[in-house]
Structure 1
Amino acid sequence: MVRQAERIDQLEAEVAELKRRLGQNSRNSSRPPSSDSPFTKPAPKSLRRESGKNPGGQPGHPGSTLALVEDPNERKRHEPGACRGCGAGLADAPEVGMERRQVFDLPPVTVQVTEHQLIARRCSCGTTTCGTAPDGVTAPTQYGSRITAIILYLYVGQFLSKKRTAQALAELFGTPVSEGTVAAVTRRAADRLDDFLDVVRDRIVEAEVAGFDETALRVAGELHWVHCARTDRYTLITCHRGRGQEGIDHAGVLTRFRGVAVHDAWAPYDTYVNADHQLCCAHALRELQAVADTAAQTDPDARWHWATQAADALVAMQKLVDDAIMAGADTIAPDLLGTQVGLYHSAVQIGYNQTTAPSTKTMQKHNALARRLLDRQDDYLRFTQDWRIPPDNNGSDATSA
């Protein structure tokens, strides 16, 4: 009977772990939305709680609405016809007002072909001398700098495929561009970067705050890792076979970085002790959501759970910082921030105590999360003390993906 009971406990633990894995999606784990099943996609739900604000731009937001310009490229006057009152002509009537309406549009765009004729002349001495082509004009036919820039912008900047980039050029400007041309233009541009990557690397190293992330990539059928280091102005993307410290060192940023590194809880980042760290709250919210989802499966009637309280407190702290920045304040009321810090700390302490003797792999994961949220509380909440620091690493996460 004892052996049977042990076997039942083991099977129940395995079933619980399988349910946990099956329940993972982009809302409660680090899986990308593309990995969600098309048949059981999770209902869209933001991890942010209700803010109480109306949707859209908030009062005081600068916005980007079109404004009338004082010097338009062209003015067209539209005269009234006959008088609406008596029907008389108004050609000689005095002008008493004018309403301005402006239309912003692009002029018709067509490709212009410039022919450079290199004239050859023969001197009386018998020597023939040919004119010299301008810099960059090296072939009988080629694309100019503007089309080259647009190709690079669409392909590299907007992540269109080679096929769609070529198609866009052909449809927008009526000029044929092949996929091979897109690849060749990109390769030539990369070859001319010279020390550009070193400059970007140095600028990120000198920054006060930078985000870091890594994601898997297949290169020639083998697993590699894309490493991203970025600020609000610069982004460096490198590729390496290693995900951990070897790949991070190859990027050449964190080894010299002295600011605040924003990243997820991937352990190799913590080996760089020369930097301060802000752990990504967005990752923590997804992990807490997974814990809450598991609890809801085992006890659907439960009205409170430590993971939900911890998540609510994290979101509330982000809102406090956002509101203070929006209002132009210098500080957050200590009692407001202290209340949320207390809710966060007490919740994860309860979560840690409840899972101290984990009986399943799921409980082990929950215990590890609660312990990390406790031990690294300062690193998770650093953004509340230094408003230069974002609370999440979503920018680097999206860039590397």
Structure 2
Amino acid sequence: MDRMREVIGELAEQVRKQAEVIQALKARLDKDSHNSSKPPSQDGYKKPAPKSLRKPGEKANGGQPGHKGHTLKATEPPDHVEEHAPGCCISCKGDLSGVSVSGSESRQVFDLPPMRIEVTEHVAQTKVCPACGTVNCGEFPPKVDAAVQYGDGVTSFCAYLNTQHYIPLDRTTQLFEDMFQHNLSESFVLKANHAVSESVKPAEEAVKTCLVASEILHVDESGIRVKGKLHWIHVASTDKLTHYAVHAKRGAQAMNEMGVIPKFKGSMIHDHWKPYFQFTECDHGACNAHQLRELVGVVESWQQPWAKDMIGVLCDIKGAVDAAKKKGATELPEGMKAKFVQNYEKVLADGYAANPLPPEDESPSGRKGRKKQSPPRNLLDRLRNFQADTLRFMNDFRVPFDNNLSERDIRMIKTKMKVSGAFRTLTGAEEFARIRGYISTARKNGLNILGSIKNALAGKPFIPSVA
């Protein structure tokens, strides 16, 4: 009888272990971009319809009152006027060629003119001084150093196509030939990128200085392929500034060499990547969009009610903060904040009750230790241990609820990788990152991208200043 009880106990323990493994495998299969940190590109073609965590707003769809429209409007004076006169009467077929105009109706067509490259010949004249006989030669402009060459307009346009729109080298040359009937080489496009990269270096240093002085800093990183090996592109940004850096490492070494994060003393927003916490001179803010997705995963894969309650608490706090900001407030009432904290901690308690610590177990090697925690328990530990970071947006209205800004800034590299697959050289990756940082900063400040690149080549890059 005792042996039977022992066997039943062993079988029950085996079933329990198998159930845990099945649950973990099922949760892994259920992961996608809406319930984990996986990117949408890994969802596959059979991904379910998106389930947004946002609540419906009160505004109707479409343009809002006061919205500045972009409807095409007639311009005066037009570049060209074409007159269309009736040749004969539609009734009696009489000749109208000599009849004066009694009225008219105008319609305008906006179109592209024939595209062509303009050729400017620079002639350096020679003059002999009548007084002393010295031969004097005129000087060519600084960048005119060959008998035949392309100018800054062509250089900036090639770099613009390749870095802003991710058009590969071969297709950039094809597009240029189709548009302007000039056959460029791929090496010219690479030289164009190099020239732009060198011209925006002063802007890059100014951006880094401004980022260090900012109150809020968004950071993120994403993997890229360089020379067939894994590298990382790091981003540090604000709503007006963007800086990218390429490094072989993902962690603290790369962040230190990037030269922004170690000097930053404001609030840094990130997705809880552990190396960020090595920098203790600044405050940290959690990306709650990531945590909401993980909570959705707990609801769907483990069917635990506390996770749904925590989603409600975080969304309620965000709603209260957004409403207060609209009214011009700079903080929530102390009583309201205390109530939110109480609700937050109650949900944590419910979560821990549903996820007790696993019992100590003896491993196959004979060493005793605690079992690996479940994902719900790990998420609970993070929400508890980093409660201040999670709720920093509630206590400091300058801190955003999520890290979507840097995720938008880093998203472009995934598009680049889908188009090109990899960078052939580290230099090419670094030049691409520097140009993209300059382009992003210019765009955030309302500047024309192509014009900003041309200005940089002319020695006048956009240089942001510390506010």
With normalisation by structure 2, the TM-score equals 0.70
Kept in 2, the 8 Å contact 1:320–1:337? The answer is no
Contact 2:36 2:293 in 1 (8 A): yes
Match of 1:350 in 2: 350
Aligned to 2:177: 170
Work out whether residues 349 and 374 of structure 1, in 8 Å CA contact, stay in contact via their aligned partners in 2: no
Alignment correspondent of 1:388: 398
Given the alignment, which residue of 68, 76, 80 partners 1:63? 68
Partners of 1:396 and 1:42 lie apart in 2 by 26
Q: 1:133 matched to which residue of 2?
A: 140
**SS in structure 1 opposite 2:234?**
strand
Which of 1 and 2 has higher RCO (CA within 8 Å, sep 6+)? 2
Secondary structure of 2:374's counterpart equals helix
Name the CA shift for 1:356/1:189 in 2 (closer, same or farther; >3 Å). same
Aligned residue number for residue 385 of structure 2: 375
Quick one: distance in 2 between partners of 1:103 and 1:321?
48
Q: How far has the Cα of 1:130 moved from its partner?
A: 5.4
Kindly state the Cα deviation for residue 229 of structure 1 after the two structures are TM-superposed. Answer: 0.6
**Cα shift at 1:249:** 0.6
Residue deviations 1:52-84, cap 9 Å, x none?
Answer: 432234345x33434758855559699999xxx
CA distance in 2, matches of 1:75, 1:239: 50
| Change in 2 beyond 3 A, CA 1:65/1:386 | farther
Give matches, 1:2-401, under 5 Å: 2-38=9-45, 40-60=46-66, 62-66=67-71, 72-74=77-79, 106-118=112-124, 131-296=138-303, 305-325=305-325, 327=326, 329-330=328-329, 334=333, 343-358=343-358, 364-401=374-411
Give the match's secondary structure for 1:283. helix
Contact persistence 2:272–2:287 (CA under 8 A): yes
Change (3 A) 1:277 1:64: farther
CA deviations over 1:1-45 (Å, ceiling 9, x no partner) = 23332222222211111111111111111111111223x223223
Segment of structure 1 superposing worse, 313-322 or 212-221? 313-322
Gaps of 5+ in 1: 82-88, 297-303
RMSD: 3.9
Does the CA-based 8 Å contact 1:320-1:332 persist in structure 2? Answer: no
| 3-state DSSP of counterpart to 1:390 | coil
Partner residue, 1:85 = none
SS of the residue aligned with 2:230? Answer: strand
Give 1:283 shift.
0.8
What whole-Å deviation, never above 9, does each CA across 1:140-185 have from its counterpart, x for those lacking one?
A: 3332212222222222233333334334433444433333322121
Decide which moves more: 308-317 or 205-214.
308-317
Corresponding residue pairs, total: 388
What is the SS of the residue equivalent to 1:181?
helix
Q: Who is 2:465 aligned against?
A: none
Aligned equivalent of 1:300? none
Q: Distance in 1 between matches of 2:85 and 2:395?
A: 63
Question: 1 CA distance for matches of 2:108 and 2:319?
Answer: 39
| TM-score of the pair, normalised by structure 1 | 0.80
The Cα offsets for residues 260-318 of structure 1, whole Å up to 9 and x where unpaired, read as 1111111111221211222111111111111111134xxxxxxx822122223333443
